[in-house]
Amino acid sequence: MINLETPKKFELLVSQAHQVAVEVFRANSRKYDRAEHTYPKELDMLAAVLDGMRESGSLDGAGVATVGGGDGASAAAASDGSANRNGTNMASLLGLIELCWGDVGLLLTMPRQGLGQAAIAAVADDEQLRRFGGKWAAMAITEPEVGSDSASIRTTAKLDGDEYVLNGEKIFVTSGERAELVVVWATLDPSMGRPAIKSFVVERDNPGLKLDRLEHKLGIRASDTANFVLDNCRVPKENLLGSPEIEAKRGFSGVMQTFDNTRPMVAGMAIGVARACLQRTREVLEDAGLAIDYGAPPHAQSAAVSEFISMESDWEAARLLTLQAVWMADNRKPNSLQASMAKAKAGRTATDIALRCVALCGSVGYGEGELLEKWARDVKILDIFEGTQQIQLLIVARQLLQKTSAELK
């Protein structure tokens, strides 16, 4: 039965995530926006509390748990006997939206989070899950000469005895400085293309993994973005995630599957930031005597209110598209089309909303006295990482038009 309300069973989780967002994230938002590269020590205590809550089961893997690593294990089927499930993917998303309403930069640098853990969850075997599960793992894909075209990565992995030797350069590694593990994408054979690309777990203290520098950024300054050089970096061969074979037919499927789970989560981050913008803007407008009237036609309202409703409607579309993607994941339906649709819509909509909210609030929005200008800087990354807007549109188009990447470039 069609129902697009968020289920009651997640209310407690959402409310807990909201309290964290208010008490810890919002309270430290401006502080770590100004103090870039300073470790937000307040998060250690929070992470410990959340670990405890997760162990006691009261958090049910929400948001603050492994981002996108949900496999539906704790999903409850509908009581009416239908197979419909609202599980860990939806729980994670709802938690993330709340936390990113608080601060997306701080969310990204939460200890033991990070997209690397999603990659581990997606392709690791049981033994690897035991060794790496629950650790703080960053993800290293991008290289100076390789962005969206991740099939062309140049970092190499050569088997030498019981170890792989990694050589290359990785940039834009979120939480790269602070994480315990870095999941590095490298090729076993540059002449073999996509099927040869594998992911390797590298311990952060591996002497071959050399921190080159930390980036200074437009936004999400609370989160460190590291550049590494891999200089004869040796890792046990058991640290290769998935199969070590170069299977021509499997292509990218192993590593790329990760994105079907993580893209809706990044969409969720955008939805959270945009909700913060809308909420604050609404307060500012209402203080200025402008009430939002959902019953009146657009032309019968002030231009500001009309614009607000227009922004809110696109926000709602982005939110529902994202819920659709995670609902499909929870129900084990293939969702890569919907995941990319959600990411595309949420990324551009949130950026658009944040920038327009600054304009609607004028100097109040643009000044550092409010967080609106910060959110407008933070949000832009969400239309870039985990696949840019353009990459999402490409994925959607290839599926709709039934085109290969050779045909539709």
Partner 1 sequence: MATQQTLGERSMAAGLRALNRLASSSFVDRLGLREPAEWFLHGAAKTTVRTAANAGRTFQATRKLTAAARQPRAAAGSLFDLTPTDEQQMLRDAVRSFALERVRPAAEQADAGAAVPLELLSQANELGLSMVGVPEELGGALAERSAVTSVLMTEALAQGDMGFAVACMAPAGVSTALGLWGDAEQQATYLHEFLSHEVPAAAVCVLEPEPLFDPARLTTAARRIPGGFVLDGVKALVPRAADAELFIVAAALEDRGPALFIVESTTPGIAVEPEPAMGIRAAATGRVSFEQLKLPARALLGEASREIYTECIALGRLGWCALAVGTGQAVLDYVIPYVNERRAFGEPISHRQAVAFTVSNIAIECNGMRLATYRAASRADQGKSFLRETALARRLCSEHGMAIGSDGVQLLGGHGYVKEHPVERWYRDLRAAGLMEGALVP
- Tell me which residues touch partner 1 (CB under 8 A): 1-9, 78-80, 82, 84-86, 90, 294-300, 309-310, 312-314, 316-318, 320-321, 323-324, 327, 341, 344-345, 390, 392-394, 396-398, 400-403, 407-409
Min CB(193)–partner 1 separation in Å: 21
Cα–Cα dist 72/330, whole Å: 5
Q: Residues 147, 82: contact at Cβ < 8 Å?
A: no
Decide: 375 and 299 in contact? Cβ < 8 Å: no
Q: Is 166 exposed, middle or buried (0-12, 13-18, 19+ CB in 10 A)?
A: buried
Listed residue (387, 375, 327, 324) closest to 350, CA to CA: 375
17/110 with CB nearer partner 1: 17
Residue 9 CB, shortest distance to partner 1, in Å, is 8
Nearer to partner 1, 234 or 398 (CB): 398
State in angstroms the smallest separation of the CB of 343 from partner 1: 10
- The string of DSSP letters for 222-250 reads TS-EEEEEEEEEEEEGGGEES--S--TTT
Instruction: Measure CA 246 to chain center.
Output: 28
Integer Cα distance of 58 and 90 in angstroms: 16
Number of neighbours of residue 293 by Cβ within 10 angstroms: 13
Reading the block at residue 397, the tokens are: 């188009």
Catalytic residue among 169, 177, 180, 386: 386
Strand, coil or helix: 376: helix
How many beta carbons lie within 10 A of that of residue 150, not counting itself? 18
Give the residue with the Cβ less far from partner 1, 318 or 382.
318
- Cα distance between residue 388 and residue 397, in whole Å: 14
Q: Closest distance between partner 1 and the C-beta of residue 340, in Å?
A: 9
Catalytic residue at 373? no
Residue 161 or 297 with smaller CB distance to partner 1: 297
Nearer of residues 243 and 310 to partner 1, judged by Cβ:
310
**Which residue's CB is nearer to partner 1, number 118 or number 305?**
305
Give the span between the Cα atoms of 35 and 221, in whole angstroms: 8
Nearer Cβ to partner 1 (69/87): 87
What CA–CA distance (Å, rounded) separates 124 from 132?
9
CB of 52 to partner 1, least distance (A): 28
Between 200 and 308, CB nearer to partner 1? 308
Name the minimum Å distance from CB 231 to partner 1.
Answer: 38
Q: To the nearest whole angstrom, how small is the minimum distance from the Cβ of residue 397 to partner 1?
A: 4
Cα distances (Å, whole numbers) of residue 81 to 274, 327, 328, 336 = 36, 17, 18, 27
Q: At what angle do helices 88-102 and 11-20 cross, to 10 degrees?
A: 30
Cα 327 to Cα 9: distance, rounded to the nearest angstrom: 15
Based on its alpha-carbon atoms, the radius of gyration of the chain, rounded to whole angstroms, reads: 21
Kindly state the smallest distance separating residue 376's Cβ from partner 1, in Å: 22
Pairwise CA distance, residues 201 & 182, whole Å? 6
The alpha-helical segments, DSSP class H, found in 191-302 are 253-287
Annotated catalytic residues are: 386
